[in-house]
Chain A
Amino acid sequence: MKRIAGIAALLLPAVCAMLVAPLFAAELPQQTEGYTAYDLRTAVLVADPEFAADSMVEWVEENGGYFTFRSAETVMLRVPAQKMHRFRYLLNELSEAVIDVSIRSQDLRESLLVLRSRVASSEDILEKNLALLDRADVKGTLLIEREIKSLLYEIEGYKGTLRKLETDRRFIRAEVSIRFKEQTLPQDLPTSFDWMNGLDFYRFVGGGMYR
């Protein structure tokens, strides 16, 4: 009996971990530097939008990412893919409530393969053109030069797109809409205590009561 209890005690944490892990995995998708680009859009309710925006920017910079836009209403960040979990925990910590989260993902493998092969083939053609350049006459040289220019332009374009995809692969695009905690306007509810009925923010800022 004792032996069974001992085995159960040993197995219990492992079983619990096995049961709990998928729950976390479902909530926070595992993200490493794979071939998937993530686009995270979220809206959070905070008490202090400025503080929340500053904290997010500070955090992302400390963790190897960067921000592309920041205001008291919206923050756009590039978060390192491996830090996605921690970023979502940060959002939970900073906000009173996370109103909305949407994650879009895109597999980049096909685009990357296509672009890489295009770069490789364009570079091959470029090499061949360069080899032809020595043997060409004036007219041919001009034609080859034009071809080379167009190839270089093409290759740079492909490489640019490739770099963008590589960045998308390594950094999650996160757009956070920050909303002030106050969502509903305070109502004027009467109370039995007369003096308390006079406490009203809108009357106060309107100045009608005291001036």
Chain B
Amino acid sequence: MRIARVILLCMLLCAVCACTRIRVQPPEGFAEWSPRRFFPGPVYHAVSPEGVELVARSVKNYPPQDLEFWKEVLFLHLEDEGYLPAAEPVLFETKGGGVVRDGVLFEWAVGYGQENYVYCTAIVPSRRRIAIVEAAGKHRIYAEYREAILSSVKTVTFR
């Protein structure tokens, strides 16, 4: 009996550790990939009928830094890798749980096969964690969902 309890406790702990530590409202017109309520998995994943994907996850804010720092690092890193900015960075606010947090969204132009894609990377740092939202899709289709994606990113909240 005791062994069973220990096993159950371990399973619960594992499940809690694996949970997404952020909440996101799906962009309008997107389907949630894994809408499990209690054990949603380590990442949030939504997809549009045309295949534009949005993935959100959170990582430890280490070394602890604010938006200004991470914004600079993220931009320089992706630019160094060869990504080209497709638009000006979008600064936004999230207001989940009564806390206002600042975030930034970058859009990058990437060629993939014969198509032109837009790769979107957004971050919302908190004191302990950083929410990361990625989205990508064919340029023309992404443009249709751009506003919906931005609205969704603004709903990022930490659990």
Residues of A within 8 A of B (CB): 47-50, 180-189, 191, 193-196, 199, 201-202, 204-205, 207, 210-211
What's the least CB distance linking A209 to chain B, in Å? 8
Tell me which residues across on chain B come within 8 A of A199, comparing CB atoms: 74, 77-78, 121, 132, 134
Is the beta-carbon distance between A204 and B116 smaller than 8 angstroms?
Answer: no
Given contacts A199-B134, A201-B110, contact A48 B139 (CB under 8 A): yes
Stretch in B10-18, B81-89, B97-105 touching the partner: B81-89
Given contacts A47-B86, A196-B73, A199-B121, contact A204 B81 (CB under 8 A): no
Is the beta-carbon distance between B82 and A195 smaller than 8 angstroms?
Answer: no
What's the least CB distance linking A40 to chain B, in Å? 25
Q: How many chain B residues touch A (Cβ–Cβ < 8 Å)?
A: 33
Max chain A Cβ within 10 angstroms of own Cβ: one of B43, B55, B81, B136: B81
Given contacts A180-B111, A195-B132, A201-B119, contact A188 B81 (CB under 8 A): yes
Is the beta-carbon distance between B134 and A186 smaller than 8 angstroms?
Answer: no
Tell me which residues across on chain B come within 8 A of A183, comparing CB atoms: 111
Tell me, in angstroms, the Cα distance from A143 to B139 when the chains sit together.
Answer: 67
Could you name 20 residue pairs across A and B whose Cβ atoms are closer than 8 Å?
A48-B139, A49-B116, A180-B116, A181-B84, A181-B86, A182-B111, A182-B116, A184-B82, A185-B82, A187-B81, A188-B81, A189-B80, A195-B59, A201-B108, A201-B117, A204-B55, A204-B119, A204-B136, A210-B43, A210-B57
B71 at the interface (CB under 8 A from A): no
Max chain A Cβ within 10 angstroms of own Cβ: one of B43, B80, B108, B110: B110
A-B pair number, CB within 8 angstroms: 75
Across the two chains, which residue of chain A brings its CB closest to B138?
A205
Tell me, in angstroms, the Cα distance from A185 to B108 when the chains sit together.
Answer: 12
Given contacts A184-B82, A204-B119, contact A47 B77 (CB under 8 A): no
Is the beta-carbon distance between A182 and B109 smaller than 8 angstroms?
Answer: yes
Beyond A188-B81, A191-B73, A193-B73, 8 additional pairs, beta carbon < 8 A: A195-B59, A199-B132, A202-B112, A204-B119, A207-B53, A210-B45, A210-B55, A211-B33
Given contacts A180-B116, A201-B136, contact A186 B110 (CB under 8 A): yes
B146 at the interface (CB under 8 A from A): no
Is the beta-carbon distance between A47 and B121 smaller than 8 angstroms?
Answer: no
B24 at the interface (CB under 8 A from A): no
Tell me, in angstroms, the Cα distance from A28 to B121 when the chains sit together.
Answer: 42
Given contacts A196-B77, A205-B136, A210-B45, contact A182 B55 (CB under 8 A): no
Given contacts A180-B109, A210-B43, contact A186 B82 (CB under 8 A): yes
Tell me, in angstroms, the Cα distance from A139 to B130 when the chains sit together.
Answer: 99
Is the beta-carbon distance between A189 and B81 smaller than 8 angstroms?
Answer: yes
Q: Which 7 A-B pairs have the closest CB atoms?
A: A186-B82, A195-B59, A201-B119, A182-B111, A186-B81, A180-B116, A201-B110
Interface residues in B58-81 by Cβ distance below 8 A to A read: 59-60, 73-74, 77-78, 80-81
Given contacts A186-B81, A189-B77, contact A204 B134 (CB under 8 A): yes
Is the beta-carbon distance between A205 and B112 smaller than 8 angstroms?
Answer: yes
Tell me which residues across on chain A come within 8 A of B43, comparing CB atoms: 210
Across the two chains, which residue of chain B brings its CB closest to A185?
B82
What's the least CB distance linking B133 to chain A, in Å? 11
Is the beta-carbon distance between B117 and A195 smaller than 8 angstroms?
Answer: no
What's the least CB distance linking B26 to chain A, in Å? 15
Across the two chains, which residue of chain B brings its CB closest to A202?
B112
Tell me which residues across on chain A come within 8 A of B109, comparing CB atoms: 47, 180-182
